[in-house]
Amino acid sequence: MPELPEVETVRAGLALHVLDREIAEVAVRGPLGARVVRRQVGGADELAARLVGRRFTSAVRRGKFLWLPLHESGGPAEEALFAHLGMSGQFLLPDDPNPEHPHRRVRITFADGGVLDFHDQRTFGHLAATDLVPTLDGGPGGDAGGIGSDAVLPDVAQHIGRDLLDPLLAPGTTLRAALARRIRSSSRGIKRAILDQELVSGIGNIYADEALWHARLHYDRPGTKLPAARVRLLLDAATEVMRSALKAGGTSFDSLYVNVNGASGYFDRSLHVYGREGQPCDRCGAPIRREEFANRSSFRCPRCQRRPAGR
């Protein structure tokens, strides 16, 4: 599933190509397209009614969640197109819009003739035009390209925590310290804690495993058994791993994880544990292990990241 670096790469591409262009048409294609807009109460007709004739003013991201505020004449944005990419969702700007594609679910056509397509092979992603509501803490809703957005976010994302690239959650801030305390107050395994999107958003399976390797922590070590310094080390590691991945355009294992121009990221070349079962640890040489974890896989070095006693 795309994580913060992959979604930020998509956000940046959308910000370059789709802002301030009038929307002329919204077409939802077939029953699988209807599944992608399943969270729009009025379905395809409502989605089109709320988008046509309007323009996107910015592209904003919080963690893995993305939205495009819609222009409001005479005031700040009150609505946005909200997107979650799920496992295989993609925004694409085709050079030639005429050829059919089997995974195209929604097409937005602009008045200038250009199109923005949403592809989703597995249809776990979703799109919806939704209301914007004030943030609970009064801070910016998310990242709009190195600057904070307005202090609003989609109503469906109110429960999503801030991410580690958010300036309000930077090292040394009050919110960062509060996050570390919440992690240390939980008896659940540390990986489960940092995957909790309501606690801290943006981290998924790939970057959790990479951060845990950097911090030399086993994924099942409980937060209550970690000193404050180790939690700070883990959060710093997760931050730096995602920054490095973002510079590489994210992690692309196949054609599903690409930016709006169809280009793949290449951070998979820098992974230390994820997807490297049986290969030597870059630090100590021990073979990397893959273990079942919450209906997915977890990768670790058995020497650098020893299992905690009694777990």
Cβ count within 10 A of residue 245: 26
Known catalytic membership, residue 171: no
Convert the pLDDT of each residue in 202-236 to its tens digit: 999 999 999 999 999 999 999 999 999 999 999 99
Residue at a domain's end among 125, 157, 189: 157
Question: Quick one: how far is CA 177 from the chain centroid?
Answer: 23
- Residues 281 and 72: their CA atoms lie apart, in Å, by 53
CATH of residue 82: 3.20.190.10
Known catalytic membership, residue 3: yes
- Residues 91 and 95: their CA atoms lie apart, in Å, by 13
Q: 172 and 215 share a domain? A: yes
Q: Is residue 119 within 8 Å of 101, Cβ to Cβ? A: yes
Provide mean pLDDT across the span 171-187: 96
Q: 149 and 171 share a domain? A: no
Confidence (pLDDT) at 250: 57
Provide mean pLDDT across the span 273-297: 95
The residue written with tokens 């993609």 in the block is: 90
Active-site residue, from 11, 29, 50, 64: 64
DSSP 265: P
Q: 212 and 93 share a domain? A: no
Confidence (pLDDT) at 266: 47
Domain count, the chain: 2
Higher pLDDT, 64 or 147: 64
Share of the chain above pLDDT 70, in %: 93
∠ CA 102-87-148 to the nearest 5 degrees?
A: 115
Does the pLDDT at position 269 exceed 70?
no
Known catalytic membership, residue 296: yes
CA separation, residue 5 to residues 50, 58, 63, 100, 266 (Å) = 29, 18, 9, 29, 11
Q: 9 and 79 share a domain? A: yes
Longest dimension (CA), the chain: 63
Q: Which of 171, 191, 188 shows the shortest CA–CA distance to 179?
A: 171
pLDDT-based confidence at 253, cuts 50/70/90?
very low
**Global model pTM greater than 0.85:** yes
- Residues 124 and 126: their CA atoms lie apart, in Å, by 7
Does the pLDDT at position 278 exceed 70?
yes
Does residue 305 lie within any of the structural domains?
A: no
The residue written with tokens 């390797």 in the block is: 213
| Amino acid letter, residue 106 | V
Q: Which of 58, 55, 64 shows the shortest CA–CA distance to 9?
A: 64
Q: Is residue 264 within 8 Å of 257, Cβ to Cβ? A: yes
pLDDT-based confidence at 267, cuts 50/70/90?
low
The mean of the pLDDT values for the chain is: 92
Structure tokens at 302: 């058995």
| Mutual angle of helices 205-215 and 228-247, in 10-degree steps | 130
Structure tokens at 169: 């959650």
Q: Is residue 242 within 8 Å of 4, Cβ to Cβ? A: yes
Active-site residue, from 3, 6, 8, 210: 3
Q: 17 and 137 share a domain? A: yes
Q: Is residue 127 within 8 Å of 83, Cβ to Cβ? A: yes
| Amino acid letter, residue 283 | R
Q: Is 177 helix (H, G, I), strand (E, B) or coil?
A: helix
Convert the pLDDT of each residue in 154-174 to its tens digit: 999 999 999 999 999 999 999
Q: 76 and 115 share a domain? A: yes
Provide mean pLDDT across the span 263-267: 52
Active-site residue, from 122, 181, 225, 296: 296
Q: 127 and 201 share a domain? A: no
Known catalytic membership, residue 198: no
Active-site residue, from 2, 5, 154, 222: 2
DSSP 75: B
CATH of residue 249: 1.10.8.50
| Amino acid letter, residue 180 | A
Full domain range(s) for residue 98 = 4-157
